[in-house]
Chains A and B, each alone.
Chain A
Amino acid sequence: MANFISKSLGKKSPLRLILLPLLSLVILAVLSSVVLRSAFARIQGLREELENAQRDENVLKEKEIILKEVQQSIAGQAQVVALALPSENPALIVISQVKNLAFERALFPQNLEVGAETQEAELMSVPISFDMEGGLTEVLDFVKSLTSISPLSTIDKLAIDHSAGVSHAEITLKAYWADFPKELPALTETVSRISADESAVITNFSRLTPATFIEVSPEAPSGRSDPFN
């Protein structure tokens, strides 16, 4: 009877009364979970991308500033370091340096020998040995001058025998070279300024005695003389 009256009055059953809001609540929960989670993940990804982009931008800005800062001075420094440590075997240049320094002191290097190339990590070296005779003062002065020649060379072994006022020296030098860097770092990779330590080394290199080369200047074309007159 009650059911009949409810139906005839269009009245909802108790189950139907809570079903609609419950269903909408469940749909909302599912929707929130799916939509908001996916949106959150996308925002997270976007934020990471933005942070990376800003980091790269800062690196690039810093790199641009550094490059503009060193633009003027770097050419001279590059020249100094290229002379100090060349990319090819500098044995001939070092021999030329040895002869020049020896002749300046009236000494004559003899038995000049160039040994086999050796590699240590990224550095290549070649031993250059020779003998000489002279006064102790001249020999010591010459040996000291060898410690500051360009390209970079070190004294590997030195033996001096003195008798009757004459010093006989046997000297082995090591001359160094190394391949030039082949690749530039990635565009977004940072570059560093020349540090104080590096500047000191460059100053040290600039004080090395440079090799003297005779530069043959090009001549202007001239008319060919007549060989029959």
Chain B
Amino acid sequence: MPQINLLPTDFGPKAPLARFARTLKYVSLVGLAVFLATSLVFLGIFLVNSASLKASLTRQNTIKENIKSLEETEQRLVFVHDRVSKGKAILDKDQATDSINNLTGLSLNQRLDVTPKSTEIKGENTELGLSVTNFLALTQLFSDLTGGNVYKQIDLESFSFTPLSGYEVGLTTINN
């Protein structure tokens, strides 16, 4: 049966206004639904994260207890790191050991025609005073000095020759 509106059209709300009111109502309802859904999602995330945090803190406490039982090992490890870094600083600073190794490498005490007169080592610098009886021994000495690639610089400080004693050589070397 068809519905008959007996009210005059003037008495009803204006059609666009009614449509706007309906839209507003619809938007409000959708907004409320979105709000509630978002709130639920947030609550879920919050609960999951809280549980994860609590579990992580519990695990941390267990590991901390284990680490405390290994405190002596930790002390030793820290101690070893400390000593090694300081010891390495000493070794890195030490140049004289290389100078001594280089000097002993020349085997000056085993050469028949070479007599060391004076040796002075300070860090990477070595001052050598040598007496060499013949030219062959001198060339051999210079060949050994330059051949080993152990010196970055060799300065000939003094050089003299007398037929009686041979060659007197003064050298300053700097380690490579």
Contacts and interface: CB of A to CB of B under 8 A. Distances in A.
B120 interface: yes
A136 B76 contact: no
B136 interface: no
B64 A202 contact: no
A160 B104 CA distance: 13
A114 interface: no
B30 to A, nearest CB: 10
Given A17-B17, A46-B53, A57-B59, A67 B87 contact: no
A67 B72 CA distance: 10
Nearest to A123: B86
A104 interface: no
B82 interface: yes
A202 to B, nearest CB: 6
Q: What band does the interface of chain B fall in when counting residues whose beta carbon is under 8 Å from A? A: 35 or more
Dominant SS among interface residues on chain B? helix
A75 to B, nearest CB: 6
Interface in B29-68: 31-32, 35, 38-39, 42-43, 45-46, 49-50, 52-53, 56-57, 59-60, 63-64, 66-68
Interface residues of A, number: 86
A39 interface: yes
B90 interface: yes
B86 A75 contact: no
A43 B100 contact: no
B152 interface: no
Contacts of B56: 50, 53-54, 57
A184 interface: yes
Interface of B: 7, 10-14, 17-18, 20-21, 24-25, 27-28, 31-32, 35, 38-39, 42-43, 45-46, 49-50, 52-53, 56-57, 59-60, 63-64, 66-68, 70-71, 73-84, 86-91, 93-94, 96-97, 100-101, 103-104, 108-109, 115-122
